[in-house]
Amino acid sequence: MPTRHSASRRTARRLPYDRAVTGYPLEPDDTTLQTWGDAVLSRVVDHERSLADVPVARYDVAESLLELLAARPPEDAGDLPVLLDVVGEAARVGLVPSSPGYLAYVPVSGLYAGALAELLAAGLNRYVTIARIAPALAALENSVIRWLCELFGFPAASAGILTSGGSMANFSGVVTARVSRLGDRFADGVVYVGEHTHHSVAKSARLAGFPPDALRTVASGDGFRLDVDALGRAVTDDRAAGRRPALVVANAGSTDTGSVDALGPLADLCGREGLWLHVDAAYGGFFQLTERGRRRLSGIERADSITVDPHKGLFLPLATGALVVRDVATLRAAHALEATYLQDAQPWGDVLSAADLSPELSRDFRGLRVWLPLHLHGVAAFRDALDEKLDLTMVAYEALRQTDGLEVLHEPELTTVAFRAHDDDHTRAVLEHVNQSGRVVLSSTMLDGRPALRMCIQGHRTHRERVDEALALVREGLRC
């Protein structure tokens, strides 16, 4: 607690708050506005230019940097270039998903146009989740959602929300399914997932209030895909045991291997059994833009809800995810509530308010991060880039298959290929060799109970040379 004395001293020192004397520091003058903006933007441009050369993995950190990062904010003003240096140094530590050598997990490569959109959105700082407050910007976000609904062949009654990522999209999907299929009392409900379902679905079920035994993990059949017959048997058994089967979560691009579940047969089963079909296409959804992807994702148009991650499939900066739902009424039923302090926010024409359809009220104007890059580059640029990644994955697949000492575990359906050495020690040695190169990072998982390496070729900056370099590093690692 500050004493009365110290509080009044501070007040005395700060007053008068007179622009003529000190300026209002939180409202920089015109020159400062420009100088600061230029300084930040030139850092972003330098970063973009350096991405092909900076180490994709780096873990050495100077003690002095850690001290700077832990420091409390000072009472007095700092210096922007110095602060930007600190952030720049901190950003060199760890894995760099924007690097063309980042082939681990699912790359989020961060399109430059998306970064500019984010800066613009924050600069505009508008309240876009209630249509009445920013009707035209809300309409812009609506147009992004409409485009997504049409991409997946959803009917006119469909709608969706922009989320911070696939995890939150899965969460809203699970809650929507729960409300739609089970109502308010749902402890006897069952949620079916596969062995390769992303863990965010189990987390969503938990956050949605399902007890742990509501989650049923169905075995995989061929190609790491959910076994539809086994699912059918599980549903029958659960009904016989007095439970209420409610929701099936299918993959359109599993994180482990990029496998796509048999969406048509799953839609048939869900239709017969009255189950909600949620397709987690966080990683794979945007391959729907390509001819090959559309073939592989066939059946997705019959889902009740779909998660997609524009920050993966459209290469956008982090925190750009989406959920689309076949029937907007189900989304609204799960999320809409009223409040007296929002009573002035009457609807504005047909423009949907995201606040009625999602858990969030205040949030960033994230639709601009999707809208601006799509309109600036055109959809074909994204389709071509995704096609290139599909081609590169086949190049990697063929090369890995022809490498003595390696076993490739599946034929890639999207842009991930999983492989391993004949013994686990060699598998680990390859991972270590590649990941300490500074040029490429891979990640590992467990498949059929044994370690496996994943190469996920998804970043928009990743082209043939870097894939060849990755393959050469894998071969070298085998010889270590």
- Binding footprint of ligand PLP on the chain (CB under 6 A): 106, 165-167, 170, 198, 200, 253, 255, 280, 282-283, 309, 321
Residue 321 CB, shortest distance to ligand PLP, in Å, is: 5
Nearer to ligand PLP, 106 or 137 (CB): 106
CA 419 to chain centre: 24
Nearer to ligand PLP, 200 or 353 (CB): 200
Residue 144 CB, shortest distance to ligand PLP, in Å, is: 17
Residue 181 CB, shortest distance to ligand PLP, in Å, is: 21
Given a contact cutoff of 8 angstroms between Cβ atoms, the answer to whether 279 and 250 are in contact is yes
Residue 320 CB, shortest distance to ligand PLP, in Å, is: 8
Nearer to ligand PLP, 114 or 321 (CB): 321
Nearer to ligand PLP, 283 or 365 (CB): 283
Nearer to ligand PLP, 255 or 290 (CB): 255
Residue 434 CB, shortest distance to ligand PLP, in Å, is: 21
Nearer to ligand PLP, 261 or 309 (CB): 309
Q: How far is residue 337's CA from residue 355's CA, in Å, rounded to a whole number?
A: 9
Output the 3-class SS for the chain: CCCHHHHHHHHHHHCCCCCCCCCCCCCCCHHHHHHHHHHHHHHHHHHHHHCCCCCCEECCCCHHHHHHHHCCCCCCCCCHHHHHHHHHHHHCCEECCCCCCECCCCCCCCCHHHHHHHHHHHHHCCCCCCCCCCHHHHHHHHHHHHHHHHHCCCCCCCEEEEECCHHHHHHHHHHHHHHHHHCCCCCCEEEEEECCCCHHHHHHHHHCCCCHHHEEEECECHHHCECHHHHHHHHHHHHHCCCEEEEEEEEECCCCCCCECCHHHHHHHHHHHCCEEEEEECCCHHHHHCHHHHHHCCCHHHCCEEEECHHHHCCCCCCCEEEEECCHHHHHHHHCCCCHHHCCCCCECCECCHHHHCCCCCCCCCHHHHHHHHHHHCHHHHHHHHHHHHHHHHHHHHHHHCCCCEEECCCCCCCEEEEEECCHHHHHHHHHHHHCCCCCECEEEEECCEEEEEEECCCCCCCHHHHHHHHHHHHHHHHC
Residue 397 CB, shortest distance to ligand PLP, in Å, is: 19
Nearer to ligand PLP, 256 or 356 (CB): 256
Nearer to ligand PLP, 245 or 284 (CB): 284
Residue 198 CB, shortest distance to ligand PLP, in Å, is: 3
Nearer to ligand PLP, 227 or 309 (CB): 309
Residue 462 CB, shortest distance to ligand PLP, in Å, is: 17
Nearer to ligand PLP, 215 or 429 (CB): 215
